[in-house]
């Protein structure tokens, strides 16, 4: 069933005025094009020029209509903030490509060698400039919680080609000021190569540099203690107990105070359960972010989620930091651990037992669209029709890759314990 053209009580149109809604501008030959408030949801591309030989041929613009289906309404007592990670799919897909808005422009080391560090710094500045636009879009769409891309400043923590973010201090301060003005929470989540329990000195030093980079970014934004740095326990290196001891020692001895003050740990789906991380978190007063999906795949024996959340949130409260959690769902039709650990495009429900005022990061492939769908499902906030896009069909079949197909084969042969 398609939407009618009238918004419901909790769903509104985006303003058609380009002065108040800069992301709703469509230009043709340099002039803003005003849009009627009574229209179907469309994504009209501007005219593009496509080279044909020596000449450039004008391609006709083709409006695409979106079929936005109704959602099944559900009730909830949840009134916290929902967030998404790193990328706004709607802004990233703007046409022409030069108008795309995103914060993860990057490059290769070879490009830095050829073009110099100032060139890569310019990429970081463009990323930070777009962060301002994303925050404005988030505010218009009632999304006040976001994870900043770790790739905001490419290679900033690299041993050889790294650089300070001081050159971008004024712009980063502007980003933080805007987020504070709207009451938005900004956090970061360094990737899988940040391993505080690694037995290799080079890996450990690289991990600490990466945490320092993320901390510098948040500090220059002026983000308060709620701007946490989330990491997993990492690998076990053949001896989980010894690795946990190294993690604890690294946090206690090697991390600078400003990094440690922002650090939080998260249970993962393969190596470390919440129960295995809680003793470190309690001893060192490092908060624990509870991930529902990871706990489903890698549960804590004898320790139910409600108890984990109670103990984890108590550490947050003692530290004066607002608790946060992560939520995702496996893709439809996924079988075996290697498929079930991959995130679905969207989430169909809120997790059972989520505290009413929790900051919940929705880790779904459709990013902001997944948040907006939950808004509609539970009537959490008004929704702008023109911000909506339909979900993909046949999610699993389209996204399954060679590694997953290989894992499925191994599982069928009994080589992987599911």
Give the mean pLDDT of 38-65: 44
- Separation CA 203–CA 193 (nearest Å): 8
pLDDT at 267 over 70: yes
28 or 197, which is more confident?
197
pLDDT bin (cut points 50, 70, 90) of residue 115 is very high
Residue 229 near residue 215 (C-beta atoms within 8 A): yes
pLDDT of residue 337: 84
pLDDT at residue 167 greater than cutoff 80: yes
In this predicted structure, what is the pLDDT of residue 48? 39
Per-residue buried b or exposed e for 146-176, using 16+ beta carbons within 10 Å of the residue's own CB: bbbbbbbbbbbbbeeeebebeebeebbebbb
DSSP letter, residue 16: S
- Taking the complete model, does pTM exceed 0.85, yes or no? no
Q: Which of 43, 124, 25 is nearest to 89 (CA)?
A: 43
Confidence check: pLDDT of 146 > 70: yes
Give the pLDDT confidence of 346-368 residue by residue, as tens digits: 999 999 999 999 999 999 999 99
Cα-to-chain-centroid distance, residue 346: 13
pLDDT tens, position by position, 209-259: 999 999 999 999 999 999 999 999 999 999 999 999 999 999 999 999 999
Position 20 scores a pLDDT of 43
**Contact criterion met (CB below 8 Å) for 247 and 278:** no
- Give the pLDDT band of residue 405 (cuts 50, 70, 90): low
pLDDT, tens only, 66-102: 889 999 999 999 999 999 999 999 999 999 999 999 9
Q: What pLDDT was estimated at residue 108?
A: 96
Predicted confidence (pLDDT) per residue in 53-62, tens digit = 444 444 444 4
Band (13; pLDDT cuts 50, 70, 90): very low
Q: What mean pLDDT is reported for the chain?
A: 85
How many helices (H) and strands (E) the chain has is answered by 14, 16
**CA distances for 166 relative to 21, 209, 306, angstroms:** 32, 16, 43
Q: pLDDT: is 299 or 65 the higher one? A: 299
pLDDT confidence band for 37 (50 / 70 / 90): very low
């Amino acid at each position: 069933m398609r939407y009618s053209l009238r918004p419901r009580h909790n769903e509104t149109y985006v303003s058609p005025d380009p002065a108040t809604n800069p992301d709703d501008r469509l230009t043709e030959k340099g002039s803003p094009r005003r849009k009627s408030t009574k229209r179907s949801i469309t994504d009209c591309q501007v005219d593009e020029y496509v080279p044909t030989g020596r000449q450039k041929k004008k391609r006709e613009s083709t409006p695409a209509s979106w079929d936005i289906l109704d959602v099944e309404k559900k009730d909830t007592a949840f009134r916290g903030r929902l967030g998404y990670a790193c990328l706004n799919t709607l802004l990233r897909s703007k046409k022409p490509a030069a108008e795309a808005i995103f914060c993860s422009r990057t490059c290769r080391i070879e490009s830095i060698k050829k073009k110099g560090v100032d060139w890569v710094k310019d990429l970081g500045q463009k990323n930070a400039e777009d962060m301002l636009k994303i925050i404005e879009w988030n505010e218009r769409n009632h999304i006040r919680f976001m994870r900043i891309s770790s790739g905001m400043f490419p290679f900033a923590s690299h041993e050889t080609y790294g650089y300070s973010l001081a050159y971008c201090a004024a712009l980063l301060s502007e980003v933080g000021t805007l987020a504070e003005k709207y009451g938005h929470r900004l956090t970061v989540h360094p990737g899988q190569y940040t391993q505080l329990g690694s037995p290799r000195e080079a890996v450990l030093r690289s991990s600490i540099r990466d945490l320092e980079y993320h901390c510098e970014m948040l500090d220059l934004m002026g983000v308060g203690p709620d701007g946490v740095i989330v990491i997993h326990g990492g690998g076990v290196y053949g001896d989980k107990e010894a690795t946990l001891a190294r993690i604890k020692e690294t946090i206690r001895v090697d991390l600078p105070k400003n990094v440690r003050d922002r650090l939080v740990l998260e249970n993962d789906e393969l190596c470390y359960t919440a129960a295995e991380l809680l003793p470190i978190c309690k001893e060192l007063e490092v908060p624990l972010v509870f991930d529902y999906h990871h706990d489903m795949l890698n549960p804590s024996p004898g320790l139910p989620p409600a108890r984990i959340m109670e103990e984890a949130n108590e550490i947050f409260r003692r530290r004066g930091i607002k608790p946060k959690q992560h939520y995702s769902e496996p893709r439809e039709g996924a079988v075996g651990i290697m498929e079930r650990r991959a995130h679905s495009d969207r989430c169909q429900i809120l997790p059972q037992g989520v505290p009413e005022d929790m900051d919940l990061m929705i880790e779904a492939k459709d990013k902001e669209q997944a948040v907006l769908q939950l808004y509609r499902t539970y009537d959490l906030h008004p929704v702008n029709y023109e911000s909506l896009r339909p979900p993909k069909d046949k999610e699993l079949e389209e996204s399954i890759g060679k590694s997953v197909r290989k894992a499925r084969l191994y599982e069928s042969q009994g080589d992987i314990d599911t």
